[in-house]
Amino acid sequence: MSKSALVIGAGVVGLAVSRGLAREGYDVLIAERERAAGTQTSARNSGVIHAGIYYPKNSLKAWACLRGKHLLYSYCSDKAVPHANVQKLIVATQPDQHAALQSLFQQAQDNGVPIERLGPQSAKEIEPELHATAALLSSTTGIVDAAALVQTLTQDIHEFGCDIAYETDIHSLVPQIDSTVVEGTSAGEEFTANFDIVINAAGHGAYGLTQAYWPAAPKPPARFAKGNYFSIVGRAPFERLIYPLPEPGGLGIHFTRDMDRRGLLGPNVEWVAQADYSVSPKLEPLFRQAVSRYWPNVADRTLIPDYAGLRPKVDGDDFVIGVHGRIVTLLGIESPGLTASFALAEKVLEHVVRL
User: Rounded to the nearest 5 degrees, what angle is found at the Cα of 52, between the Cα atoms of 133 and 278?
Assistant: 80
| Residue 105 within a domain | yes
162 and 29 housed in the same domain: yes
Residue 214 has phi, psi (to 5 degrees) of -145, 70
Q: What is the mean pLDDT of residues 32-36?
A: 96
The helix/strand/coil state of 164 is strand
- State yes or no: pLDDT of 67 exceeds 90: yes
288 and 215 housed in the same domain: no
Q: What is the mean pLDDT of residues 145-165?
A: 97
| Residue 74 within a domain | no
Helical packing angle, 12-23 and 337-352, nearest 10°: 40
Residue 330 has phi, psi (to 5 degrees) of -115, 125
243 and 307 housed in the same domain: yes
Q: What is the mean pLDDT of residues 154-162?
A: 96
135 and 225 housed in the same domain: yes
Residues 98-107 have pLDDT tens digits of: 999 999 999 9
215 and 241 housed in the same domain: no
- State yes or no: pLDDT of 151 exceeds 80: yes
Residue 25 sits in a domain whose CATH number is 3.50.50.60
| Residue 59 within a domain | no
Q: What is the mean pLDDT of residues 148-174?
A: 97
Q: Which strands make up the sheet holding 168-175, listed edge to edge?
A: 168-175, 180-186, 189-195
Q: What is the mean pLDDT of residues 230-234?
A: 98
Mean model confidence pLDDT for the chain: 96
124 and 164 housed in the same domain: no
Pairing, β 163-165 against β 88-92: unpaired
- State yes or no: pLDDT of 62 exceeds 70: yes
| Residue 76 within a domain | no
Residues 220-229 have pLDDT tens digits of: 999 999 999 9
173 and 253 housed in the same domain: no
110 and 10 housed in the same domain: no
Distances (CA, A) of 255 to 8, 87, 239, 269: 33, 12, 10, 15
Residues 250-271 have pLDDT tens digits of: 889 999 999 999 999 999 999 9
- State yes or no: pLDDT of 249 exceeds 90: no
For the chain, the farthest-separated pair of C-alpha atoms sits apart, in whole angstroms, at 65
305 and 319 housed in the same domain: no
Is the C-alpha dihedral spanning 338, 340, 346, 350 positive or negative?
Answer: negative
CA dihedral angle for residue 89, residue 313, residue 149, residue 152, rounded to 10 degrees? 160
Full-model pTM: 0.96
215 and 225 housed in the same domain: no
- State yes or no: pLDDT of 1 exceeds 70: no
Which pLDDT value is given to residue 117? 98
Residues 176-225 have pLDDT tens digits of: 999 999 999 999 999 999 999 999 999 999 999 999 999 999 999 999 99
- Amino acid letter at 82? P
111 and 151 housed in the same domain: no
Which pLDDT value is given to residue 283? 98
Residue 179 CB partners (closer than 8 Å, separation 6+): 194, 195, 196, 326
Residue 172 CB partners (closer than 8 Å, separation 6+): 182, 183, 184, 209, 212
Domain hosting 197: range is: 4-50+147-219+315-352
Which pLDDT value is given to residue 221? 95
pLDDT band at 317 (very low <50, low <70, confident <90, very high): confident
Provide the domain count of the chain: 2
Which pLDDT value is given to residue 315? 94
| Residue 320 within a domain | yes
123 and 161 housed in the same domain: no
Residue 74 CB partners (closer than 8 Å, separation 6+): none
Residue 276 sits in a domain whose CATH number is 3.30.9.10
| Residue 69 within a domain | no
Residues 10-25 have pLDDT tens digits of: 999 999 999 999 999 9
